[in-house]
Amino acid sequence: MAAVDRSGEKGGGWGKGLADSSLYQKARRAASNSARFSQKLMWSTGKAAWIAGTTFLVLVVPLIIEMDREQQMVDLESQQAGLLGSSAPLPSK
């Protein structure tokens, strides 16, 4: 059942005047603009995170893997040189 104010009209009663006020409209517009700004900011941040993440995977991860492989080869060569009893220093690259 709808609320009936003293004048007999259906509606919000005292809240109707609040909804028509200039302050209410400004606050509502500000809230709407803030929500829109937040949504765009989240979208842009997500997009930037995606670009940074994929760039890291494509460029940096292979470099890290190659550096680890190089270090393993150096360690293996030094172990082999130690087993053979070589007293000559290993050539540096």
- What average pLDDT does range 19-29 have in this prediction? 87
Distance between CA atoms of residues 39 and 27, nearest Å: 18
Residue 15's pLDDT is what? 60
Whether 81 contacts 90, CB under 8 Å: yes
Assess whether pLDDT exceeds 60 at residue 8. no
Residue 3's pLDDT is what? 52
**Structure tokens belonging to residue 5:** 């104010």
Per-residue pLDDT reduced to its tens digit, 33-92: 999 999 999 999 999 999 999 999 999 999 999 999 999 999 999 998 888 876 555 566
pLDDT band at 12 (very low <50, low <70, confident <90, very high): low
